Structure 1
Amino acid sequence: MTAYREEDAGTPARSRRWPLLLGIVALALTVSAGGLVWLFQDELFHPFGDVRACEGSDVPLPVVIDPGDAALPADASDVHYVTREGRAQVSFLSSRIPDYLHRASLLPDEAPLFDDRHGAAYGLGDGEPELPEGLCGSPLRGPAWLYGNDSVAVLVERSPLAPDAFPNPARAIVTYALP
């Protein structure tokens, strides 16, 4: 006959607690991870894995976006785009809008920024927002000026304080046909 020791009595109960504790910890981690994925789903799951792409886009744009054969300004930030039915709309912030307009051949070098021969006032009041359907990100705010040719249209914020200047940086929305 074997002798019964007091320390053996606690062993089976302790060994049964480990799987239960591990199950509770695993459940808590799973619920936490699921909650974080749900909370940040917009930041985690972008179309084509591109953080610039807005939901509903049907084709990805290249890393260097070049509507009208002029790449977006080097300082472009807060870039977002939506593509559908062979067209793209790209929204961005930049302090180099005049340079972009010249490179895209929308504004001759010698022309003033707000020349009626090369653009037109766009119907937005001061501070009034404009964000085309499907395009995500921050909206463009009025007043605004529209430049364009047969292949590209550029809508740009105009400074509400200085009527002959853009704010620094200015938001622009470029619309063009995809190749």
Structure 2
Amino acid sequence: MGDAEAGAGSVVSDEMNETAYPEGAGDLDREGFIRRRRLPSPAVMVAGLAFLAVVAGGVFWLFQDDLSHPFGDARACEGSDAALTGKIALGGVPIPADATDVHYITKNGFAEVSFLSDQMPDYLHRAGLVPDGESLFDENYGSAYALGEGGREMPDGLCGPALMGPVWSYHGRGPGPSANILIERAPAGTTLRAPARVIASFDIG
């Protein structure tokens, strides 16, 4: 084969390589053959996506309170427009230390708080709603609320369990003139439930 023919063959060979294996299709090995880059198999890709989904789900679970509640506060109900920070207090008197299942909603300078407590008799005295030594059901300090035994009620927008009747109402003392506290009574009506569900409504200014 002459030099001209060899040169022509080389040019043709180069053109074929460029046509068959465009730039970026693979890497050349020592013999000049292209090594094809292997894509991950479908099974590997599915496994990777599943792993990412599990990780994302775990992150959401860890931070779900921050993501699904106003102000990142698990106590705040949807629609609240102001945060109640720290220990919730009515007129400067913190709710009982044993309070659990606390929920609140705030709108236009007004708050409603729901919680469960076994220390409400002491709290009523500390808050000045019922003077020491007086009956918790003295009508000078409260009155029966219109919710019969077994009835349930929850203010609009407040989340958490509903208040269950019968209920006693305390208002206009201690926390301020706009305060109102509803507490579950025992069915017999002579004591409060233990623990009792409480809904407190008050101005936050």
Query: Which structure 1 residue ranges, 5 or more long, are not aligned?
Result: 1-11
Select the residue among 95, 99, 116 that pairs with 2:139.
Answer: 116
> Contact conserved, 1:52 with 1:81, CA < 8 A, in 2?
yes
Q: Secondary structure at the match of 2:91?
A: helix
Q: Which moved more, 1:24-33 or 1:109-118?
A: 24-33
Select the residue among 191, 194, 198 that pairs with 1:165.
Answer: 191
Distance 1:147 1:156 in 2: 8
Distance 2:64 2:72 in 1: 12
Tell me which residue corresponds to 2:126.
Answer: 103
Distance 2:178 2:116 in 1: 21
Paired residue type of 2:185: R
| Equivalent residues in 2 for 1:69-108, closer than 5 Å | 69-108=92-131
> Contact conserved, 1:68 with 1:151, CA < 8 A, in 2?
no
Q: Which moved more, 1:19-28 or 1:88-97?
A: 19-28
Question: Which has more radius of gyration?
Answer: 2
Distance 2:196 2:45 in 1: 54
Pairing 1:24–2:46 present: yes
Shift of 1:27: 2.4
Distance 1:33 1:133 in 2: 37
Distance 2:183 2:139 in 1: 15
Q: Deviations over 1:74-107 (max 9, x none)?
A: 0000000000010000000000001111111111
| Equivalent residues in 2 for 1:3-42, closer than 5 Å | 16=38, 18=40, 20-32=42-54, 37=60
Q: Which moved more, 1:146-155 or 1:24-33?
A: 24-33
Q: Deviations over 1:127-179 (max 9, x none)?
A: 1111101100111100000001113110000001x321011100100000003
Pairing 1:139–2:165 present: no
> Contact conserved, 2:137 with 2:143, CA < 8 A, in 1?
yes
Shift of 1:30: 4.4
Change (3 A) 1:33 1:55: farther
Paired residue type of 1:154: I
Pairing 1:154–2:181 present: yes
**Which structure ranks higher in relative contact order (CA pairs < 8 Å, sequence separation ≥ 6)?**
1
Change (3 A) 1:57 1:126: same
Identity, % of aligned pairs? 48
> Contact conserved, 2:98 with 2:118, CA < 8 A, in 1?
yes
